[in-house]
Chain A
Amino acid sequence: MSEDVLSHSESSSFRARCRAFLELHATAGDPLTFADNQKFLAAARVAGLAGIPYAEQYGGAGLTLAHEKIWREEKASFPYADRMFIISHGMCLPMINEFGSVEQKERFQADMIAGRTLWSQLFSEPGAGSDVASLQMTAVRDGDEWVLNGQKVWTTYAHLSHFGLLIARTDASLPKHAGISMFVVDLKAPGVEVRQINQIDGGREFNEVYFSDVRVPSDNLVGDVNNGWRLATSMLMYERVTIGSGLSEQFAHPFFDILVDGARSQGASVDPIARDEITKIYILETCKSLIGLRTQAEVKAGKTPGPGGSLGKLFGSVIAWKYRSIAGEIGGLGAVAWEDGADPMGALRASVVNSFRDGIAGGTDEIQRNIIGDRVLGLPREPVVDRDVPFRELKISTAKQSSK
């Protein structure tokens, strides 16, 4: 992919083109359906604005990363336009592009870009969350195919997806990281069963995906056998870039806005302690925004960025913890009990329950603190008991104990 720098007039005219397209085809603020997302992407394909940095021979627009940056900046004002493709396009597509064989790219890439297929990431398992490398799904070679058995969990949008990138164990005699391979899986294949998870916020975007003797053609192996962990690591880097470091590059006070709305709609003046707590949230959100702005300035100036980039996700969760503790005071009883058709505290309540996601999904707070401590502060790591032990000798969660 080309990183070419654009001239000022090239930038402005491309930006104008993006904006014109978005204003016609995306609706700011509406949570669009999957069908709407697909329609949007099909139109983008026609307009030459789909798969911007990807090669034309694989269905992309053949432009540069500079174009992609402009497109993303403009699309940020229309967050729901292709929201459901965030994993598909943000993680699976770059992986196929970078690590897929020519044949795989020919088979999959164009459909991914045009939104004709939706992809999921299948890593986590019931027994392998923070420690995803301890996964137990097996892939056993049988002639020209691999046979997959096991279960994945927390698979976003699996109930809508056509394909996925999955990691499974191909050699249990090796230590856990060393015996994993990555496959493209067809989620409509026989033996695949998708069940939506009932979440505490009432949503059902996450799924369990069961694999019972699912046969996967050997052409669907991505990269080399037993090299899957390295690929998984690369995919997690794309995740960090896509879903973000948690840092935005402008001032944003989302929880504060909800609290102030809530306080105002209560009618009565907010008591001094509650005012103090709301102000604390404002201050924390300001600091978080500033870290993003400083990090951006450092990158732009070509300096080595400080630790700010590693702090965004944890910071967001820290703020959520504080928010949850104050939101009840502001919301009052009306936040937890309401009549149909009169629910002014709905947004406050929803964000209270939903915000647990911030500290768990994509790396828990505890894992984030470990990463910050180890990699940013250089603290010594905890002793590890399972790194060099053959997988089949490890003690793991939810494993069926062998009879030996």
Chain B
Amino acid sequence: MKFGFSEEQDELRRQVHRFLEEKSPESEVRRLMETSEGYDPAVWKMMAEQLGLQALAIPEEYGGAGYGYVELLIVFEEMGAALLCSPYFSTIALAANALLNSRDEAVKAHWLPKIAAGEVIATLALTERSGRWDLDAITTKATATENGWMLSGEKLYVLDGVVADLLLVVATTDQGLSLFAVNGDADGLERSTLSTMDQTRKQAKIVLDATPASLIGVDGGAREIVETTLQLACTAMVAEQVGGAQRVLDASVDYAKNRVQFGRPIGSFQAIKHKCADMLLEVESAKSAAYYAAWTADSRDEDLGLVTSLAKSYCSEAYSHCASENIQIHGGIGFTWEHPAHLYFKRAKSSELFLGDPVYHREVVAQRLGI
């Protein structure tokens, strides 16, 4: 396993960073936050056409550029730093990973090229009212009828569920856990936007009532696919968390250098200085864990489940803590809506819980270590 980045990877980072500086400044984040779709279709198109971001880690045989999880980490890190409002995470980290792991060639050949071209927005619908991420909690049912499969049930917390063209729904059949493709405009499908603390990321409630769906892969064979998908999605989520954590550290340090009280910059007081030092320690640790997860996703020479859960639990707490300290260091102004600090905190809090919370993931680590 390599523990560094190549020149090409560093250049990718610079490109994405420049693009987001221009296309996703704070003003755009605030504008898109207030919309129900939560993204800018023109920017989505530019991401595909100018930078090939949707195609980045899709294999060449499906119209992609054939890069890997480390390149994706770089992209997600920059997106997390910018709080980009976009269905990129749902489409690429959730849906594309599920399709790539489905072993269903026909389905892959049908959907992946469209995703790579930026023509389709897709997402994964897994969690239900319980909010649980373990697969034993699924109650949505799939029934085989003479007209094909029909799904009934309710999904909550579905990222970009309202704007998705394609929903990959996890449901149970007589054979067990299975994965289905549902069109966004299917019959018997009701989608509504949830109110979210983190307005930069839209979540939906999906109600399925005899909704037509097509089976992906083998009936009852989705457990491993979904588990791997969630692990790979974690590598993207932790990258976002690291990007956000670094950004709030930068903001704290900048404020500490410039805010003057008692005749000197507040960063010259040890209480503030020490908070920043501790934040740096957390950010560097989180980076290390996130990079390790991506390197493992590419090389597969370590236990992916252990490494991704390790990273998810640590990066979640590090981001939330740093975002909290960032508000604290800013004092009163950090408590205003107009200051960006709360946007990062709210993204951090949501991300902490999405894909499983830190306690859940540490239990995964404990089990895999055999404690």
Contacts and interface: CB of A to CB of B under 8 A. Distances in A.
Interface of A: 260, 263, 270, 272, 275-276, 278-280, 282-284, 286-288, 290-291, 293-294, 296-298, 300-301, 303, 306-308, 311, 314-315, 318, 366, 368-370, 372-374, 376-383
Contact of B277 (A272, A283, A369, A382): A369
B276 A379 contact: yes
Nearest to A318: B281
Contacts of B286: 287
B113 to A, nearest CB: 36
Q: Tell me what chain B mostly uses at the interface: helix, strand, loop, or mixed.
A: helix
A303 B365 contact: no
A368 B276 CA distance: 12
Contact of B365 (A283, A294, A315): A283
Contacts of A318: 281
A303 B369 contact: no
16 contacts: A272-B363, A275-B362, A276-B366, A279-B371, A286-B289, A290-B292, A300-B4, A315-B281, A370-B273, A370-B277, A373-B276, A377-B276, A377-B277, A378-B257, A380-B265, A383-B264
A275 B366 contact: yes
A364 to B, nearest CB: 12
B199 to A, nearest CB: 31
A380 B268 contact: yes
B280 A376 contact: yes
Contacts of A282: 310, 365, 369
Given A276-B366, A288-B285, A370-B270, A377 B280 contact: yes
Interface residues of B, number: 37
Contacts of B277: 314, 368-370, 372-373, 376-377
A379 B268 contact: yes
B310 A278 contact: no
A311 B270 CA distance: 17
A283 B366 contact: no
Interface in B288-325: 288-289, 291-292, 310, 313-314
Nearest to B318: A287
B285 A279 contact: no
Which of A279, A298, A307, A377: most chain B Cβ within 10 A?
A279
A283 B371 CA distance: 13
Given A307-B280, A379-B276, 18 more contacts: A263-B371, A276-B362, A276-B366, A283-B313, A283-B314, A287-B285, A287-B286, A287-B314, A297-B3, A308-B284, A308-B288, A369-B270, A369-B277, A370-B270, A372-B281, A373-B267, A377-B277, A379-B256
B187 interface: no
Contacts of B276: 373, 377, 379
Contacts of B362: 275-276, 279-280, 283
Contacts, number: 125
Nearest to A288: B285
A118 B46 CA distance: 68
Nearest to B364: A279
B253 A377 contact: yes
Given A270-B371, A366-B270, A380 B3 contact: no
A284 B269 CA distance: 28
Nearest to A365: B274
Contacts of A278: 366, 371
A383 B268 contact: yes
Contacts of A270: 371
Contacts of B269: 382
B2 interface: yes
Contacts of B278: 369
B218 interface: no
B3 A307 contact: no
Contact of A290 (B267, B288, B363): B288
A281 to B, nearest CB: 11
Nearest to B359: A276
Which of B267, B272, B288, B359: most chain A Cβ within 10 A?
B288
Nearest to B365: A279
Which of B264, B267, B277: most chain A Cβ within 10 A?
B277
A276 B313 CA distance: 11
A314 B273 CA distance: 14
Which 4 pairs, one residue from A and one from B, show the smallest C-beta to C-beta distance? A290-B288, A373-B273, A287-B285, A297-B4
A162 B10 CA distance: 53
Contact of A291 (B2, B268, B285): B285
B270 A381 contact: no
Contact of B288 (A276, A294, A369, A372): A294
B371 A275 contact: yes
B371 A291 contact: no
Given A280-B362, A307-B284, A374-B273, A294 B3 contact: yes
Contact of B371 (A260, A290, A301): A260
A298 B4 contact: yes
A369 B268 CA distance: 12
Interface string B348-366: 0000000000010011011
Contacts of A276: 359, 362-363, 366
A283 to B, nearest CB: 5
A70 B363 CA distance: 41
A17 to B, nearest CB: 30
Contact of B281 (A297, A311, A379, A381): A311
A297 B2 contact: yes
Contacts of B289: 283, 286-287, 290
B307 to A, nearest CB: 9
A366 B274 contact: yes
Contact of A311 (B257, B284, B365, B371): B284
Contacts of A376: 277, 280
A279 to B, nearest CB: 4
